[in-house]
Structure 1
Amino acid sequence: MQATPPPESPALVHRHPATDRKEQFRKDFASHCQNSKCWRVRKEGEIYFRCKGCDDSLYCSKDCQKAAWPTHRDECKTAQEARAAMSPTERTNREKLLAYTEKHSPIICAAALRGLELDRDLSRSQQYYFEIETEVREGQTRPETAFYVTRASPQLLMCHPNRRDIWKTLKEQVEVKKDTQMATVGAFCVEVVCRSLNVQTRFPVVVDEEVLTFQEPSGDRSLWHQALFRNMNEGIVY
């Protein structure tokens, strides 16, 4: 998809009227124990433990965190090294992009699944990653409107040699999900980038069996693009 002009800035302070104030879907979607033998969704009011090394992975208990360490060790080390190499400004900018991405994670994953057309060819999950290009929106104080999307499209892994490490991570994530008895058939990677700030965030998405049989009611296969741009550019969160 081609880049679009910057959208008009939404209100600086107030939530979008279409936003769910509790953001329950996003919270249920994003918050789960990352021990492969558990994968328990965090309920409202529960306290989960965050890895102090990468400051990202969540666990429902210290026991789960300990059990997950053998598979998390390398990822944690990489995250720590990347953070150490950043300047204070880069760390701040990346935290803002992470917060923006987390707010919009459900629509990002749904749109990427459709955009990659995995229902037509599942092998595309091994050949492509999904890239979302953003630009910073100056003057915004709410995380869901701190950036806006300018482009979203599948990218061939073979055309980006520095992304080949993605597939190793994805295969590990597939095995993690299979351990939890989920109907997992594959995985792919999403990358959200803001080139003007030189920051990015990357995360794997698993593909469940239901995606292979999904049919858009209207038959319009471009609806993912409209939904992604509307939600991420207007600050709509569910």
Structure 2
Amino acid sequence: MNKLTQESNSYIINSKKPFNPISRFNPVSLKESFDFAYDMSFGRVGEHRDHRTGGSHKRENGEIFINTFQGKLAEFSIYEIFKSHGMDIPKPDLEKYDLGAWDTCDFDIDGIKLAVKSTKHFGQLLLLETKDWNNKGEYLPNKDSDNDIYNYFILVRISPEGDSLMKRHRMWYSKDINRDQLEDIISNENWTYDSPGYISNMELVEIINNQFILPKGSMLNGKTKMDAENYYIQAGDMHDINGLFKK
């Protein structure tokens, strides 16, 4: 595994994988992801945090919506990939949790727990906020349960870029928005995904112990300021997702 190239306070990606779409999302996955994200933001049925662990940036509902939509799409992409390979995998959780509560893991397949992380189609990093993990690779919010260890972490990339889409339609900073108007905007896009790969919990521990850290306030590729401190692994250093089916 390769550390980012550091130049003063700037960290440069040096191990990449190009975006290679696997498939388009089916309409049912899009609809269910939209309904979930809308209810967890503008609809106020459930509630997501307005900031990252260790972060200071406060999100409005427009940003919370698209982050939640992208995250749920990522889960559906893994569901679709695994089903296409004949794997018995549960459907993504669509329960709307209150603030301070969340599902224990993204997928549990016969006791093997999977965490799915999403990013933009040009993203090259799997990021995990350092304050959420100890040096044993245990997820601290679940520390008092038997769900503190994720066996594998899968990175999914989504196209188009949701942030730019919301900003283009002046919805990024919105607190309230018409549901039908937003759904029309989302449904008119061609949503696709790929997965640059996965890592194991053992590799997470290696990353933690070897200080693969993007500090809060540092600049990624000289232009993106990090809102919180994160552990990272580059897309080019991840295992091909097809290897996960054999495991």
Q: Which has the higher helix share?
A: 1
What TM-score does the superposition give when structure 1 sets the normalisation length?
Answer: 0.29
What TM-score does the superposition give when structure 2 sets the normalisation length?
Answer: 0.28
